[in-house]
């Protein structure tokens, strides 16, 4: 039987990860570019900010052991070696971003997971998309998988806190903490729902704030 020990025969991790680094760098520019295009047209962008990372080698090794992924299957079976996150203000923005991604010609969507309507038992919410993205290397084109997580700022706040607690408790939360986290996740989603309901008010305020058209300023002009 094949051993899944952490001692890997992929010795040249830097070389293995090079196309992933390239993909994350390119995708960050492209996704941030989407935000800029909306701003240039004086429209509120559905994207608040974008982050990205290549999964650290230790995390890849740990996940290989946990998910029984062999080195031969690593490229196909570990979909988040290249990871991007898109943060949005409103839940509707998430679906707008997903639609925009579906229309792009530079990546192919392979999978979509809606953890917003089907939240995880932990309370986690986000929209996950797995894409196949071609990077141009000097040796030719290489198609790699990347995971794009699209979430609201409130979902991101919850996930960040829960992720660090997970690190501390190694996923083995005391029952009381687990219940509290689930309640916090519901509270975060309630905040998203409330914000969506007063969305028009917020957007009008943001528009006035961005373009310096305060109503009282206009009034004064007319005086």
Given 122, 178, 182, 196, the residue binding ligand 0O2 (CB under 6 A)? 122
Euclidean distance between CA atoms 143 and 145, whole angstroms:
7
Residue with nearest beta carbon to ligand 0O2: 83
Instruction: By CB under 6 A, tell whether 182 contacts ligand 0O2.
Output: no
User: C-alpha distances in angstroms, 116 versus 40, 161, 210?
Assistant: 30, 18, 30
Given 19, 116, 135, 147, the residue binding ligand 0O2 (CB under 6 A)? 147
Given 19, 23, 52, 152, the residue binding ligand 0O2 (CB under 6 A)? 52
Note if 201 is an active site residue. Answer: no
Choosing from 147, 194, 197, 223, the catalytic residue is 147
Could you tell me the smallest distance in angstroms from the CB atom of residue 137 to ligand 0O2?
A: 21
- In 3D space, the residue among 123, 112, 146 whose CA is nearest the CA of residue 30 turns out to be 146
Q: Are 41 and 207 within 8 A, CB to CB?
A: no
Euclidean distance between CA atoms 48 and 88, whole angstroms:
5
Given 68, 163, 213, 214, the residue binding ligand 0O2 (CB under 6 A)? 163
Token reading at 158:
């919850």
Euclidean distance between CA atoms 143 and 20, whole angstroms:
10
Instruction: By CB under 6 A, tell whether 73 contacts ligand 0O2.
Output: no
H or E stretch covering 86: strand 82-88
Work out the burial of residue 159: count CB atoms within 10 Å of its CB; fewer than 13 is exposed, 13-18 middle, 19 or more buried: buried
Could you tell me the smallest distance in angstroms from the CB atom of residue 24 to ligand 0O2?
A: 8
* Residues 6 or more apart in contact with residue 216 via CB below 8 angstroms: none
Euclidean distance between CA atoms 39 and 20, whole angstroms:
29
Given 61, 80, 152, 188, the residue binding ligand 0O2 (CB under 6 A)? 80
Instruction: By CB under 6 A, tell whether 85 contacts ligand 0O2.
Output: yes
Token reading at 201:
């008010």
Could you tell me the smallest distance in angstroms from the CB atom of residue 86 to ligand 0O2?
A: 9
Closer to ligand 0O2 by CB, 84 or 98: give it: 84
Instruction: By CB under 6 A, tell whether 51 contacts ligand 0O2.
Output: yes
Active site residues per annotation = 147
Instruction: List residues near ligand 0O2 by CB under 6 A.
Output: 28, 51-53, 55, 59, 63, 67, 80, 83-85, 113, 120, 122, 124, 128, 147, 149, 159, 162-163
């Amino acid at each position: 039987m094949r051993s899944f020990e952490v001692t890997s025969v992929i010795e040249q991790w830097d070389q293995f990860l090079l196309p992933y680094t390239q993909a994350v760098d390119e995708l960050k520019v492209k996704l941030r570019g989407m935000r800029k295009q909306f701003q240039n047209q004086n429209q509120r962008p559905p994207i608040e900010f974008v982050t990205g990372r290549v999964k650290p080698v230790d995390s890849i090794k740990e996940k290989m052991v946990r998910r029984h992924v062999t080195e031969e299957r690593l490229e196909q079976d570990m979909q988040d070696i290249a990871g991007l996150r898109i943060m949005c203000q409103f839940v509707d923005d998430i679906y707008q971003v997903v639609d925009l991604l579906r229309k792009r010609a530079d990546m192919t969507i392979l999978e979509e997971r809606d953890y917003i309507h089907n939240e995880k038992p932990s309370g986690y919410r986000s929209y996950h998309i797995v894409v196949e993205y071609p990077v141009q290397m000097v040796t030719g084109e290489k198609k790699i998988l990347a995971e794009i997580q699209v979430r609201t700022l409130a979902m991101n706040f919850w996930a960040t806190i829960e992720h660090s607690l997970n690190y501390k408790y190694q996923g083995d939360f005391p029952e009381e903490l687990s219940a509290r986290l689930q309640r916090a996740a519901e509270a975060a989603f309630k905040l998203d729902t409330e914000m969506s309901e007063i969305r028009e008010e917020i957007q009008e305020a943001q528009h006035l704030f961005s373009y310096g058209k305060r109503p009282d300023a206009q009034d004064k002009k007319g005086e």
